[in-house]
Chain A
Amino acid sequence: MLSLFALESVSEVSTVVQDANWFLEHAWIIPLLPAISFVLILFFGKRLPKKGAEIGITAVAVSFLLAVVTGWAWLDHRDNVVFDGGHSESVVVDDGHGSDDGYGTDDGHSGDATADEEHAIVVDDGTTNGDDRVSLAVAAAETGGKTEAHPYVAVQQTTQWFQSGGVEFGAGILVDGLSVMMLFVVTLISLLVHIYSTDYVGGDRRYTHFFAFLSLFTASMLFFVLSDNILQMIVGWELVGVCSFALIGHWWEEKPNSDAALKAFITNRVGDVGLLVGMITLFFAAGGGTTFDTVSINEQVVQGNVSHTALVVAAAALTAAVMSKSGQFILHTWLPDAMAGPTPVSALIHAATMVVAGIFMVARLYPVFFEGMSIGGSSINLLSTVGAVTLVGAGLLAFVQDDIKKVLAYSTVSQLGYMAMALGVGAWTAAVFHLFTHAFFKANLFLGSGSVAHAVHSFDMKKDMGGMKKYMPRTFWTFLIGSVALAGLPPLAGFWSKDEILVGTGGWGLFGGTGGNGAYTFHLSMGMIGAALTAAYMTRCMYLTFFGEWRGGHGHDDHGHDSHDAHDAHGHHGEPHESGPRILVPLYVLSGFSILVGLVNLPPGLFSGSAKSPASWQERFLHYMEPAGSSYFPAVAHGTPSWSLAIVSTAIAVLGIGMAFWYYFVRVDRLSKQTGQSLTGLPNGLTSRNRLAKAGHTLLVNKYYLDHLYTGIIAGFTKGRLARAAYWVNQNVLDRTVNVAGETAVRAGRVVYERIDQGVVDGLVNSAGRVSDSTGQELRKINSGQVQNYAALMFAGAAVLAGAFIILFAL
């Protein structure tokens, strides 16, 4: 079995360096640019010809380019960095040393102050791989003999921010596969969303503010993913939260929007209690009360120097933070509400980036969770269970939504559940990989839904959509690609990452599939159910939006709140038409990514036999991203992918699609054509059929009622009763609890204020006056304006006090 202590022999060494490629060392420029852009837009935005959008786009574009180059530099660094003689050097970067004395003199983010932060670097000659350490064995095996000398080495740059009470607060960057990946995702999607927004929110009354906050958000998110210490993570975490608040409440004139913003912020704050408690526990238990450094904390945990109790507390508390930020049951309710914000915001913040902050945080502090939750060798734990429940629960909810953005929102919750579950079962790479692929196809879907809504001025699929395929073919195709990717059909992105998660559960024993860190059979089955659900609800969504006939356009007034400003600018009320290039181009780009990104982590044994050279496409993502073998990562085991699992899970997804397809594209569509209306479901499908008289005939007509069983009872129940019950629970129990908690807090506040504060505490003060006032008047009476009254009170008070002190001191 895997053991913590197996790593002890090697992890006296910290596999973190400071010298590296210029771009890796200077990754802090990437968040800095949008931050500058924020300030510039804030002060000068309104005076510029494009109202500030140009600054934001330029800054994010440059950041994106830098992120790409940084990513490239990382790939190079990962493959070529060589350790020898106790220090590291980058054999390929020419200016790595030359820039040493030059950098950082003009800026506090890096520089000479880093010298004292230097981690000891010792040779890792690759021979320390224990026999039982599966992960390293795998890593070593797959990288081959030569690269054994190239362990995973992160790049860290730290400078002292300030110091208090003997504790140094650092600010710095930790560049490794995970952060590089996040840099790429965040900057790319942010750039696309910026471009998309110039059209989408064009003409909005707070256009400039919108871009300012987009910039601030991008900066905060990049700051967060680059942070090298947990304090910085908290800072970034809160900052993205406040940007989310500001952007959800972008149209704060309407109360529902500001309500949603408040709900988001306060729900997140609830989780932040966990974050604070967890991080503080880590700071003292693993950081020794002296350092916030992520790497040091992780190293301490990996080396087994931290008490298990502290880790359990920290992991559980941080799980609460994940539950709020990443929308896990039971704190997920804010996320669907957050759809009140503009759609580009939903795509960027509430689908691709901010909501995965929780997942990122778990991934970053993985040793804490791995040890604290005892992930290895177990078959259930808090994180994985929360993820699994979320995954299925939210998937069911997505069925009953009429609002296209809410379908996507629940879908996001569900997919985040996948990621949390993956982390919970020890499939680190799978989780991060799913985060990566999901960002693209979900942003694609959101932007696509925004494109549709832009055309029909509404988000209501049943009332205002239908048949959009005819009007918006390009949006349709991109949306289709996104849906297929989300549904997890090969070879699109979602398939690969979802499959890896299922593999990682270790619950599959057929055809040579192996266990990962434990036997998470329950989670495997939940994952399978989730796959079917995802496929089915996306099919429903596709049908309601793009097929049938357009149901809108008959003079209704309730426009989607999203688009009113945008619309008045356009001023058209005819048939919907395809969106402009600034909306479509981001969709194309994201569709492309949705198709392709799954290929970056092909499982071994696919397409290139057993050759595992760096040139192959197999497990590249794992190779570059997972810090396996580094000093700050636990010894996780990797499951071996199996064909059987891939086939079964695909079959399940197809089954989900098939059922939904049959219901909508066949049954409903047929009925629509019969009635000449564009229907959104079967009217009374259950009750209008099958009386006993024509049982046999009907049985045949209905194909032994299998359809009925599937669509009517199983799907109907699932889609109807169960989902509705789940939604009811969501709305009436969970949501209500949040509301009631809020109301109760207010009520408690009122009671405390009126009864205790004004009654007891204040009353005590008042009655002190009353006691001395023999006529027993109320407090106001002592304020009679008569000096003698005041004097009487004063003397009485003095006497009582003096008496009290005599009793205390003298007697």
Chain B
Amino acid sequence: MSSLLAAVSADADLMVAQNVFFALISLVMVIAAVRVVTTGNVVHAALWLVVVLAGVAVQFLFLGAEFVAVTQVLVYIGAVIVLFLFGVMLTKASMGDDESVVNERRGMAGMVGLLLFAVMAIALFDSFGDKRVVIDEPQSVNTVSDSIFSQYIVPFEAVSVLLLAALIGAIVLARKD
């Protein structure tokens, strides 16, 4: 942790506000994420998820990826969450607190999660100890769209086909007959 603290202090004059804000958002996100996976109420979980997703959008803004942040809000919060809520209603999932929402694997899963985090943290400190992200100006939508439609046109087309396939697949699966 010492390297992180050192780095933070060195950076303090420039980015204090930004860093404080980041810490706050992050804290909220982590708490919300924990609630997503622990709360007994499915609808509450979906709402906590909204908080996390919004936080992620803010993080995108920190990183200067405005377009991504906007898409995040539109697609995730706008569509995906709504989809989830529909799903909750359609499957008549329990709306109230329910102790059994978590299975008996809790201990092991916690250990796995902590272990993973530890490993990643070590790896990250080791690899990117004091790398800095410098955001001069936000990415313009222009650059993003330019590269999507030139350099990344093939993946883009692939994604569109994938979406189409998912669309058809979802219909086929959910169709009542």
Contact = CB atoms under 8 A, between A and B. Distances in A.
Interface of A: 772-775, 788-789, 792, 795-796, 798-800, 802-803, 806, 810-811
Contact of A800 (B109, B115, B127): B115
**Lowest 10 CB-CB distances: which A-B pairs, in order?**
A774-B108, A774-B107, A803-B119, A799-B115, A799-B116, A810-B126, A796-B112, A802-B119, A795-B112, A799-B119
B111 interface: yes
A772 B119 CA distance: 16
B112 A799 contact: yes
Contact of A792 (B112, B119, B122, B123): B112
B104 interface: yes
A773 B105 CA distance: 8
A806 B107 CA distance: 25
Contacts of B119: 799, 802-803, 806
B103 interface: yes
Contacts, number: 45
A772 B123 contact: no
Interface in B100-154: 103-105, 107-109, 111-112, 115-116, 118-120, 122-123, 126-127
Contacts of A773: 108
B115 A774 contact: no
B interface residue count range (under 10 / 10 to 19 / 20 to 34 / 35 or more): 10 to 19
Nearest to B103: A788
A806 B112 contact: no
B115 A789 contact: no
Nearest to B104: A775
A724 B94 CA distance: 90
A799 B120 CA distance: 9
Among B108, B118, B120, B123, the most chain A Cβ lie within 10 Å of the Cβ of B108
Given A795-B116, A796-B115, A806 B122 contact: yes
A774 B109 CA distance: 9
A792 B115 contact: no
B108 A772 contact: yes
Contacts of B105: 774, 788-789, 792
Contacts of A806: 119, 122-123, 126
Interface string B76-114: 000000000000000000000000000111011101100
- Secondary structure dominating the interface of B: helix
A796 B120 CA distance: 13
Given A774-B107, A788-B103, A788-B105, A810 B112 contact: no
A803 B103 contact: no
Contacts of A798: 116
Contacts of B118: 803
9 contacts: A772-B108, A792-B105, A792-B109, A796-B115, A798-B116, A802-B120, A803-B118, A803-B122, A806-B123
Among B118, B119, B127, the most chain A Cβ lie within 10 Å of the Cβ of B119
Contacts of B107: 774
A45 B111 CA distance: 73
Given A774-B111, A788-B105, A802-B119, 11 more contacts: A772-B112, A774-B105, A788-B103, A792-B112, A796-B112, A799-B115, A799-B116, A799-B119, A800-B115, A806-B122, A811-B126
Given A788-B103, A789-B105, A799-B116, A810 B111 contact: no
A798 B113 CA distance: 11
Contacts of A802: 119-120, 123
A753 B123 CA distance: 41
B119 to A, nearest CB: 5
A773 B106 CA distance: 10
A270 to B, nearest CB: 52
Contacts of B126: 806, 810-811
A447 B108 CA distance: 79
A46 B108 CA distance: 70
Contacts of B103: 788
Contacts of B123: 802, 806, 810
B102 to A, nearest CB: 11
A810 B124 CA distance: 11
Nearest to B107: A774
A774 B103 CA distance: 13
A795 B109 CA distance: 9
A788 B103 CA distance: 10
Nearest to B116: A799
Contacts of A796: 108, 111-112, 115
Nearest to B118: A803
Contacts of A772: 108, 111-112
A798 to B, nearest CB: 8
Among B104, B115, B118, the most chain A Cβ lie within 10 Å of the Cβ of B115
B49 to A, nearest CB: 19
Contacts of B108: 772-775, 792, 796
Contacts of A795: 112, 116
A775 B104 CA distance: 9
Contact of A803 (B104, B111, B115): B115
A334 B39 CA distance: 78
Among A773, A774, A775, A795, the most chain B Cβ lie within 10 Å of the Cβ of A774
A775 B127 CA distance: 35
A643 B89 CA distance: 119
Contacts of B109: 792
Contacts of B122: 803, 806, 810
A775 B105 CA distance: 8
Nearest to B106: A774
A792 B115 CA distance: 12
A775 B107 CA distance: 9
A212 B155 CA distance: 68
Contacts of B116: 795, 798-799
A283 B122 CA distance: 56
Contacts of A792: 105, 108-109, 112
A788 B109 CA distance: 10
A802 B117 CA distance: 11
